[in-house]
């Protein structure tokens, strides 16, 4: 027990000597901090902010993304596609699909696809995406302005040159046409289309 008491006393003496030496060192070797100089505040003139007038951006639709993967010198995909025979359920008022794609008989400023979805109102909508190859036709449209219908078509060309079947009530294109509104499918049918001349 004596050793423990002597150890504690030695510990306390060592701690006291160390603390005293530290205080003495700080007292003897620290310099007085110099007095802070008075600094005058600089005058700064700030101009009032100038705001540019807000000009609204014109509303414009993005350019459609039409991917045409065929040789336009060998094919003719220009014309209006009408449903052959009686119109199926859900497409009674459907008018036509207008194809204005580059080809042997196309006019300038072509390369468009539009769907005329209602005979009575003339409501139509352009394709916002299309993939067209020698045999394949796929497109989607944006919502029509009047009724908000969207169309999707996936099918195939049955002829390379529309002029060979123009006005002859012969099949030109066959595929699945889907009509939707607000993301809800209203009608979907596999339809065969005939080709009629489009334009003046």
Residue-level pLDDT, tens digit, the chain, 200 residues = 788 888 888 888 988 888 888 887 777 776 666 666 777 777 777 777 766 566 565 555 566 788 888 888 888 788 889 999 898 888 888 889 988 887 655 555 567 888 888 777 778 888 999 999 889 999 999 998 888 889 999 999 998 888 888 888 899 999 999 999 998 999 999 999 998 876 54
| Residue 68: both structure tokens together | 């045409």
Are 153 and 178 within 8 A, CB to CB? yes
CB 175 within 8 A of CB 188: no
Structure tokens at 125: 């909508």
pTM: 0.64
Looking up tokens 């700030």, which residue turns up? 46
Instruction: Give CA separation, 143 vs 6, 61, 119, 140, 177, in Å.
Output: 95, 12, 17, 10, 15
> Could you tell me where the beta strands, DSSP code E, fall in 85-148?
96-100, 112-116, 124-133, 136-141
């Amino acid at each position: 027990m004596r050793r423990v008491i002597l150890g504690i006393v030695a510990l306390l003496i060592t701690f006291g000597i160390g603390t005293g030496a530290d205080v003495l060192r700080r007292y003897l070797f620290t310099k007085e901090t110099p007095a802070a100089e008075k600094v005058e505040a600089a005058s700064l003139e700030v101009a009032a902010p100038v705001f540019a007038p807000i000009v609204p951006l014109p509303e414009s639709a993005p350019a459609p993304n039409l991917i045409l993967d065929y040789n336009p010198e060998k094919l003719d995909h220009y014309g209006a596609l009408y449903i052959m025979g009686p119109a199926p359920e859900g497409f009674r008022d459907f008018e036509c699909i207008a194809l204005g794609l580059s080809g042997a008989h196309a006019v300038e400023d072509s390369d468009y696809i539009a769907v005329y979805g209602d005979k009575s109102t003339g409501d139509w909508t352009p394709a916002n995406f299309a993939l067209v190859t020698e045999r394949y036709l796929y497109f989607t449209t944006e919502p029509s302005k009047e009724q908000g219908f969207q169309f999707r078509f996936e099918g195939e060309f049955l002829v390379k040159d529309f002029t060979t079947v123009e006005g002859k009530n012969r099949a030109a294109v066959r595929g699945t046409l889907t009509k939707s509104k607000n993301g809800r499918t209203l009608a979907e049918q596999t339809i065969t289309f005939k080709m009629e001349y489009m334009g003046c």
